[in-house]
Amino acid sequence: MPDSRPIGVFDSGIGGLTVVKALRELLPNEKIFYLGDTARVPYGSKSASTVERYSLEITEMLVGEGVKTIVVACNSASAVALPKLERILSVPVVGVILPGAKAAVAATRNRHVGVIGTRATIKSGAYETALSSLSSQVRVTARACPLLVPLIEEGWLNDELTDRVIVRYLEPLIREGIDTLVLGCTHYPLLSGAIEHALGPTTTLVDSARNCATAVQELLDRQQLRAPAGNSGSLEVALTDAPDNFMRVAREALQLDVGEVQLREVLHGAAKL
């Protein structure tokens, strides 16, 4: 039976909107409820236990919104919290790491894949685990890029300083001989043009956000959770703190109409709705 309940999506900030944009393009009939934990952004610099606790709190809020599935549109949360979320939540959960890893294995020609992400994602080794589970012949070179998320959240998407930071981070990966690079943070597709320029034409870029959206589509089809064909898709956005540059970046970089942003507050480890 068709299911008109919304898809719940969360991230620590604006990065998960890259997944929302891909979902809107792929599944235009679906309602989406996006929750950005802007009060505690970024997750990537936090400990694994803290990221897991934040993820449990945010998903509790999404379940309270009556969602039919939850998309963990955050690589840091996918890396450390996804197994527990899959065990305890009453709705199916999709992360961003396995879809990105599958796309990277399909794309690489010399079997050498690079991964960039937050410190929490890279420290977890989640991409190495996912890639090795798919192919024992793939070599992985991973690098944490902690400055990129703050630059993106600040809206410095077309900026000389951001370009220089990207080059500084990518030069060791290029020297190592990668032919495929996984954007292991959903913020990073907002810098895909600058990253492609720094890499050159011989390296394939894998956008984990787009591949995550495809995985969501497959899950909805598999579990018969797709919205009715005539359903009017919509997007609701809620944040845990004032949006600052959130609205501007969403409109200018992603061409997303997020409407009126709602505010949610998380207190003492429980959702206050």
- Domain shared by 16 and 147, yes or no: no
Tell me, yes or no, if 212 is annotated catalytic.
no
- Give yes or no for residue 130 having a pLDDT over 80: yes
101 and 83: one domain? Answer: no
142: left (phi over 0), alpha (psi -120 to 50) or beta: beta
In tens, the pLDDT along 235-258 reads: 999 999 987 777 777 788 888 888
Question: pTM for this one?
Answer: 0.90
Q: Given pLDDT bands bounded at 50, 70 and 90, which one contains residue 273?
A: very low
Q: Find the catalytic residue in 58, 72, 74, 91.
A: 74
pLDDT for residue 271 is more than 70? no
| CA–CA dist 126, 132 (Å, integer) | 10
Q: Each residue of 136-172: pLDDT tens digit?
A: 999 999 999 999 988 988 889 999 999 999 999 999 9
What integer pLDDT is reported at residue 197 of this predicted model? 95
Active site residue 74: yes
State how far the Cα of 167 lies from the Cα of 178, in Å rounded to an integer. 15
Q: Which domain holds residue 227?
A: 7-95+211-272
Q: Are residues 103 and 61 in the same domain?
A: no
pLDDT for res 101:
96
Query: Which one is catalytic: 73, 185, 213, 250?
Result: 185
> Taking 80 as the threshold, does the pLDDT of residue 112 lie above it?
yes
Q: How far apart are CA 238 and CA 117, in angstroms?
A: 25
Of the residues 208, 233, 255, the one at which a domain ends:
208
Tokens representing 33?
A: 């409820």
